[in-house]
Structures are given as structure tokens and as C-alpha cells.
Amino acid sequence: MPHRVGIALGSNLGDRLENLRAARDLVADIAVPGEPVLQASIYETAPVGCPDGSPDFYNTVIEISYDGTAEDLLDQTQGFQRQLGRPEVAERNAPRMIDIDLLYFGDERVVTDRLELPHPRLTVRRFVLQPLADIRPELVLTGDARSIQEHLGTVMDQEIHKAAVMM
């Protein structure tokens, strides 16, 4: 049975908007045909935890239906990152053409050496919460008691600006 899956997309190198479009299109191609693909607006944010001098990010969130395992999806999205120019080994949080992070996988809790879902830092990152609230404000993550919109109200100190609506 397919799962509704949240995926964060970010880029702070090259043509950031085009990088997000390319990643969105690759992810949409693996979605269950006929099911909706939800996409938030794009937000520009200062880098968090990145090396000094890192450029600002464009961030968005999409939600798809996926008919496979979380590990399968991780393998596919990591392949998309390589396809879009992200090296496999780089300095932690270094500037990057594309970053694709799995946020949640239906109502499943996944904890492996490679993957933890829901994403353990999702609820403290405004650059993820704001776009996710655009498309799923009422979502309550597995193991949580508050909605995405409620979490968003607790992280207002991080600066974020709407940059675009991706088509």
C-alpha cells in the first residue's frame, strides 16, 4: 500500500531554482501515478550549520505517494542527488547543488543506521516547517502530539523569505 511521503529539497549552489525543479521532477517521476504531488512555495533562508561564507539556500517541500520501502526511497533520492551534481563525499553541510531529505514516511517510524523517520530535526528547522506548513499544516507526525503549524509557531526566530512559487 502506498505511503504519503514528505521530502525536503534545498539548493545553495548554481541555479538554485532550476536545481529544485530538476529534483522535484525526478521525485515526481517515482510517485504513484495518478496520486497528487503537493509542492510548497520556495523560501530563501540563511544556511544553518554550514561553513562560514556559505550562500543562502532555496528550500521547498513536496509530498508524494510512494509504493516501496523507506530504504528504497532513500536509495533513489541519494541517486538523484548524485545525478544532479552532488558529490558522495563532501565536508559536512558544505554548499551543494541539491539536498534531498526524507521527512516522513506515512505513519511509519523508521530507525536504521542510514535513516531516521520522521526526520529527527524536522520540528526545529523553520526552513522545513514553513514550506511543509504550506501544504500540510494539520499534519501530526508519528510519535508527536503537535501539528506542523503548532511547531512552526515555536521557531519564529529563524529568518525566512518567500522566494518563488515553483511551477
List per-block mean pLDDT (blocks of 10 residues) for the chain, which spans 167 residues: 96 95 97 96 88 90 97 97 81 81 96 95 93 97 96 80 67
* Grid cell in block for residue 136: 500540510
Task: Tell me what pLDDT residue 36 has.
Answer: 96
How high is the pLDDT of residue 164?
63
| Tens of pLDDT, residues 31-76 | 999 999 999 999 998 887 888 888 999 999 999 999 999 999 999 9
The set of cell numbers assigned to 30 is 517515482
CA-closest candidate to residue 100, choices 86, 112, 121: 86
Catalytic, out of 4, 16, 24, 99: 99
Q: Which of these is catalytic: 4, 24, 101, 134?
A: 101
Q: Is 86 a catalytic residue?
A: yes
- Supply the Cα-derived Rg of the chain in whole angstroms: 15
Residue 21 is a catalytic residue: no
Q: Which of 16, 96, 125, 136 is catalytic?
A: 96
Q: Which CATH class is domain 3-164?
A: alpha beta
> Quick check: is 126 catalytic?
no
Tell me which of 86, 125, 126, 136 is the catalytic residue. Answer: 86
Domain ranges of the chain: 3-164
| 18, three cell numbers | 532550476
Known active-site residue 99: yes
What is the rounded CA–CA span in Å between residue 143 and residue 123? Answer: 12
